[in-house]
Amino acid sequence: MNNRIEGKIVAITGAGSGIGRAIAISLSKMGARVVLGGRRKELLEAVANEINHEGGEAITVMMDVRHKADAGQLVTTAITKYGRLDVLVNNAGVAQLSRIDELDIDGWEDMIDINLKGVLYGMAAAIPVFRQQQSGHIVNIISTSGIKIVPTQGVYAATKNAVRTLAEAFRQESDGTIRITGISPGVVKTDLSGNIKNPQMQEAIAAAMEQLAISPDAIAEAVVYAINQPADVEVGDIVIRPARQN
C-alpha cells in the first residue's frame, strides 16, 4: 500500500483518549505530524509524549469544541507551526443517553454543542484554509446510533445524523478539492460510558462494551484507509462495528 499520509499535517479533536488517541498514534506511525486538541491537559500530553518518544511528531492544543474560538486556535496552531493543514478529524463527542420524556435538557444541549456545533465550528475553521490550499480532508467520527434508532439514544442519534446530513450537503457543494469522510463506529472500548450521567444507562453501556466492544485501533485503521486514498478518491462513509453487534 502506498503511503500518502507521510508528511501530512493532521489536527484531531478529542485526541486525549479512546478513538482520538488511537487515530493520532496510527497516523503518526504513518509519518503524519499531529496536532492534538482536547480539554484534558494531562491526557493530551501523555499521548504527545508517547508519539514523540517513538520518533513521531505531536503538539498539543488545549481546546473545547463547544467554543468557536478554540476550534480556530486548533487550526491556527497547525498553520503557525507547519504552514498548512491537510486533515481535520472531528472526533470529540459525548453521549448522554436517556428517554426523551425524561427531559434531560442539559444533556441535550451538551450533545448538540459538542457533537453537532463542535463539528461545524471545526469545519468553519478548516474550510478557509483548505480553500486557499486547494486541498484538504475533513473526517467526521459519527456513530452507528444514527443508523439504527433505539430508545434512549434519540437525541444522541439526532446529533450524529445531523452531521451525516451536513456532510453530504458539503460533499455535493464541494468541487472535489476538499474531501469529506464519515466514519461510524459501533460499540468501541472507550471511556464514553464514564461520562454518562444516568446510572442505569452508564451501567448498560459499560456492560455492552465489556461483551462486544472492539478496539479503538479498528476505527483508527478506517481513518488511515480514508486519508491514504489518492487525492481524486473520496471515501464517503464507513460503518465499522463488532461483528456480533445487532
pLDDT in tens, 221-243: 999 999 999 999 999 999 999 99
The per-type count for the chain, helices as H runs and strands as E runs, is 8, 7
Question: Strand ranges (DSSP E) for 122-209?
Answer: 136-141, 178-185
CB distance 10 to 86 below 8 Å? yes
Residue 236 counted as domain residue: yes
2 within a domain of the structure (yes/no) = no
Does residue 193 form part of some domain?
no
How many C-beta neighbours within 10 Å does residue 34 have? 28
In a domain, 21, yes or no: yes
| pLDDT confidence tier of residue 193, bands split at 50, 70 and 90 | low
- The per-residue pLDDT for 194 is 61
Examine residue 197 and state whether it is found in any structural domain, yes or no: no
Cell 474550510 found at: 127
Q: Is the pLDDT of residue 143 over 80?
A: yes
- Does residue 75 carry a pLDDT above 80? yes
pLDDT at 1: 65
What CATH code is carried by the domain that includes residue 233?
3.40.50.720
Domain assignment of residue 53, yes or no: yes
Residue range(s) defining the domain that contains residue 40: 9-93+113-185+215-240
CA distance 97 to 104: 9
- How many structural domains does the chain have? 1
Residue 105: inside a domain: no
- Tell me the per-residue pLDDT of 23-64, one tens digit each, with 9 for 90 and over: 999 999 999 999 999 999 999 999 999 999 999 999 999 999
Contacts (Cβ under 8 Å, ≥6 apart) of 210: none
Residue 108 domain flag: no
Which residues have a catalytic role annotated? Answer: 156
Beta-carbon contacts of 226 under 8 Å, excluding residues fewer than 6 positions away, are 137, 139, 181, 183, 235, 238
